[in-house]
Amino acid sequence: MQDWKNAEAPDAALIEELAREAIAGLPPEFAGPAAQVVLRVEDFAGEEFLDELEIDDPLELTGLYDGVPMTEKSATEPQHFPDTVWLFRRAILDEWSSRGNVTLGALVGHVVIHEFAHHFGWSDDDIAVIDRWWE
């Protein structure tokens, strides 16, 4: 049984570890491209992201893909910044707490899959094959 009385809040390193486990569980054909994406964990989304997405409450944004989807990349128009998946620890912990019926690993995995879906240009059907979250 978890010793909640003496437990500390999950830190960024644990969120990253859970995210990397989810990435490692991707089908092999996505492993190479996924390895090229930078993974960043911050407590909250920065103001520039929140403003761009017209989000007032930083606890509403658990993750973000910042880059050009693979389906839109062009050799003639190179990208000058790395594709990045951002995870926002405090928003993830807030959602985890409010749900109360899902493990932290499952929630982080869901957020990671959703953000990589943007990178790969996946449809909702594609996501459902890998992430059965909504079942």
Give a yes or no: residue 44 inside a domain: yes
- Count CA atoms closer than 13 A to 85's CA, side-chain side: 27
Give a yes or no: residue 99 inside a domain: yes
CATH number at residue 116: 3.30.2010.20
Give a yes or no: residue 121 inside a domain: yes
Query: Total domain count for the chain?
Result: 1
* pTM given for the model: 0.88
What digits encode the pLDDT tens for the residues 15-48? Answer: 999 999 999 988 888 888 888 899 999 999 999 9
Give a yes or no: residue 108 inside a domain: yes
Domain that holds residue 48: 8-130
Q: How far is it, in rounded angstroms, from Cα 75 to Cα 93?
A: 39
Give a yes or no: residue 36 inside a domain: yes
What digits encode the pLDDT tens for the residues 54-89? Answer: 999 999 999 999 988 888 877 777 777 899 999 999
